[in-house]
């Protein structure tokens, strides 16, 4: 080993779902199967490429203002970043510095461990119960902060707003982050608690419910002191995180409420019919409040089903992780995509 190698930061990176480079039925990364709002498409067509020679607005004023209007808060209560991953990474770096362990569930978004490791933040994972549920009393102990995904990933289960408030009540001296990437698909957002708890940060994304995964837009809502602290960290690293195209198309995406609600309704409808079909085929499904289903077959091995689907150019997500290694995560696609998926599953099970 060379001497300089001793100084390289060693981390186990987050592993995203596969991104095949050929046409497939892609149900493995929870992308929205429908195009973004018509206004987004128009903005792309009409945008002047000359804007790309100029730096974007470092304060993201237009986008923050539009997001604030939707939630009835001030622009100063909004932070935006390059996808919710960027927002969450900034929050880890900003708020989790006490030296005490940050708490999050043992089965959840695996990026939490990665950020904790790369920023040298101590952490402790809290076990979910046998039904993959979280319990607020498990987070009453001393800690350096709390973060949880609600609805949780990959389990798809959503805890009630009372759960979030219970955690906040028992953790007034640390920052509590509610990661709500999937909340639009059936959960109740903790945004309503922001006025009551100055230590709450709510993080959401345009990637799932607004069909904008390729634009990489995430945002946080919180008290002005929290947002200002995140901005100070951001401006210490990279002032121009959001590109011109994302800033302009993001405004159009958030403005079109009707298209947003119509798309959500279609995905939720397909999710419920798909859940019923899977249960009829012998699968157990958690009570999903997301745009994906978390399933396990009563007699067939999840990895074998995963590999057999992949051979048919149908991609779902398999986690080779203790506790969930016999489950598949299946993104809700269009009705046509799901029909192809179900025909393949029927063939595999036979």
- Please say whether the beta carbons of 266 and 34 come within 8 A: yes
Q: Is the pLDDT of residue 130 over 80?
A: yes
Question: Residue 226: is it exposed, middle or buried by C-beta count within 10 angstroms (0-12/13-18/19+)?
Answer: buried
d(CA 320, CA 270): 27
For the stretch 101-116, pLDDT in tens is: 999 999 999 999 999 9
Position 2 confidence tier, pLDDT thresholds 50, 70, 90 = confident
Q: What is the pLDDT of residues 67-100, one digit of tens each?
A: 999 999 999 999 999 999 999 999 999 999 999 9
The pLDDT, as a whole number, for residue 311 is 95
According to the model, what pLDDT value does residue 202 have?
98
The mean per-residue pLDDT over the stretch 230-244 comes to: 94
List C-alpha distances in Å: 91 to 23, 174, 184, 341.
36, 13, 22, 38
Per-residue pLDDT, 85: 96
The residues that bridge with 148 in the sheet, in sequence order, are 178
Element containing residue 202 per DSSP (H, E): strand 200-205
Question: Residue 289 has which token pair?
Answer: 């409040």
9: pLDDT strictly greater than 90: no
Q: Out of 20-34, 178-192, 271-285, which region has the weakest mean confidence (pLDDT)?
A: 20-34
Strand 292-297 and strand 328-331: the pairing is antiparallel
- Mean local confidence (pLDDT), 154-180: 98
- Above 80 in pLDDT, residue 321? yes
Q: How confident is the model at residue 1 (pLDDT cuts 50, 70, 90)?
A: confident
Report d(CA 189, CA 183) in Å as an integer.
6
Cα 127 from Cα 155, distance rounded (Å) = 13
Q: Tell me, what's the pLDDT at 3?
A: 85
128 pLDDT tier (thresholds 50, 70, 90): very high
- The length of the chain in residues reads 350
CB atoms within 10 A of CB 237: 10
Tell whether the model's pLDDT for residue 19 goes beyond 90: no
Lowest mean pLDDT among 16-20, 169-173, 234-238, 243-247: 16-20
Quick one: average pLDDT of 177-190? 97
pLDDT value, residue 56: 94
Say if residue 13's pLDDT is above 90: no
Residue 314 has phi, psi (to 5 degrees) of -120, 115
Across the range 7-14, mean pLDDT stands at 82
Say what the pLDDT of residue 325 is: 96
Given a cut of 90, is residue 62 above it in pLDDT?
Answer: yes
Provide the pLDDT for residue 187: 95
Q: Give me 96's structure tokens.
A: 């989790």
Average pLDDT, whole number, for the chain?
Answer: 95
Quote the CA–CA distance of 124 and 168 in Å, as a whole number: 18
Mean pLDDT of 323-348: 97
Please name the residues in contact with 142: beta carbons below 8 A apart, sequence gap of 6 or more: 100
Tens of pLDDT, residues 260-287: 999 999 999 999 999 999 999 999 999 9
Query: What is the pLDDT confidence band of residue 290, given thresholds at 50, 70 and 90?
Result: very high
20 confidence band (pLDDT: 50, 70, 90): confident
- pLDDT of 315 higher than 80: yes
DSSP-derived 3-state class of residue 285: strand
What pLDDT is recorded for position 257? 96
């Amino acid at each position: 080993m060379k001497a300089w190698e001793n100084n390289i930061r060693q981390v186990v990176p987050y592993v995203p779902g596969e991104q095949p480079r050929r046409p497939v039925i892609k149900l493995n990364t929870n992308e929205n199967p429908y195009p973004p709002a018509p206004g987004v498409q128009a903005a792309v067509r009409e945008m002047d490429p000359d804007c790309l020679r100029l730096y974007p607005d470092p304060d993201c004023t237009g986008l923050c203002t539009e997001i604030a209007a939707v939630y009835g808060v001030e622009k100063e209560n909004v932070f935006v970043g390059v996808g919710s991953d960027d927002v969450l990474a900034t929050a880890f770096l900003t708020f989790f510095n006490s030296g005490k362990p940050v708490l999050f569930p043992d089965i959840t978004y695996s990026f939490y461990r990665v950020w904790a490791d790369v920023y040298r933040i101590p952490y402790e994972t809290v076990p979910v119960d046998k039904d993959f549920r979280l319990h607020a009393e498990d987070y009453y102990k001393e800690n350096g902060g709390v973060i949880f995904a609600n609805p949780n990933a990959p389990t798809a289960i959503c805890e009630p707003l009372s759960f979030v408030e219970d955690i906040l009540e028992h953790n007034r001296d640390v920052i509590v982050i509610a990661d709500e990437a999937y909340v639009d698909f059936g959960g109740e957002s903790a945004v309503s608690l922001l006025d009551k708890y100055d230590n709450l940060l709510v993080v959401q994304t345009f990637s799932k419910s607004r069909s904008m995964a390729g634009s990489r837009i995430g945002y946080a809502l919180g008290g002005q002191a929290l947002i200002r602290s995140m901005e100070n960290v951001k401006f210490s690293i990279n002032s121009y995180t959001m590109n011109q195209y994302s800033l302009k198309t993001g405004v159009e995406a958030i403005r079109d409420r009707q298209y947003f609600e119509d798309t959500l309704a279609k995905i939720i409808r397909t999710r419920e019919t798909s859940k019923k079909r899977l249960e009829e085929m012998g699968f157990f499904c958690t009570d999903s409040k997301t745009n994906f289903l978390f399933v396990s077959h009563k007699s067939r091995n999840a990895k074998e089903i995963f590999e057999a689907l992949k051979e048919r150019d149908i991609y779902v997500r398999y986690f080779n992780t203790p506790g969930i290694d016999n489950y598949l995560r299946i993104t809700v696609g269009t009705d046509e995509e799901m029909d192809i998926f179900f025909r393949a599953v029927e063939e595999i099970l036979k």
